Amino acid sequence: MKFVQCLLILVFSPFVSIGQDADKIAVENVIVDLFKGMYNSDSAQVRKLFVPSVKMATIATDAQGNSVAKDGGSLMDFLTAIGTKRPDKLSEEIWNIKVNIDGGLAQAWCDYAFYVGKKFSHCGADAFHLVKENGQWKIFQLADTRRRSNCIIPEVIQNKFK
């Protein structure tokens, strides 16, 4: 009996890994699509990536230097900001994406640098929570940090905005 169980584990474990890899790629694609949509001012593309009740927050620092969670606004506010045409494109460049998945729950974390046109605005980290609904990964929670100093931005990204 033990031999059969070991054999089944050996036979089927590569398929579990392949499925997890496909899900990790799908989660990363949601994040990449979010920032493509932002860059293209395509709020319709971005809307599809979120559950309607998404929670957004920014972790800020108060006057005493304490970290505080601030409400990031509604999905409609976010979509309006993205969909507003402006002379300079909004670019959020990301790197160091890390994805963890357990069943229908995914967590993704990445570093980012935000630019308005060619001008650096701020950097930080984005933290996403996603749910797999009807075979599609959707963001149900998004939080970020924002700072203007102590940003270690990869040279390849910096060169894009020179």
Distance CA 161, CA 117 (A): 8
**Which DSSP helix (H) or strand (E) runs through 12?**
helix 2-39
The DSSP call for residue 153 is: -
3-state secondary structure at position 119: strand
Domain ranges of the chain: 2-160
Question: What is the structure's pLDDT at 52?
Answer: 96
Distance CA 55, CA 143 (A): 8
Arithmetic mean of pLDDT over the chain: 90
* Interval 43-93: pLDDT, tens: 999 999 999 999 999 999 899 999 999 999 999 999 999 999 899 999 999
Q: Return the CATH fold of 2-160.
A: Nuclear Transport Factor 2; Chain: A, (3.10.450)
**Global pTM value:** 0.85
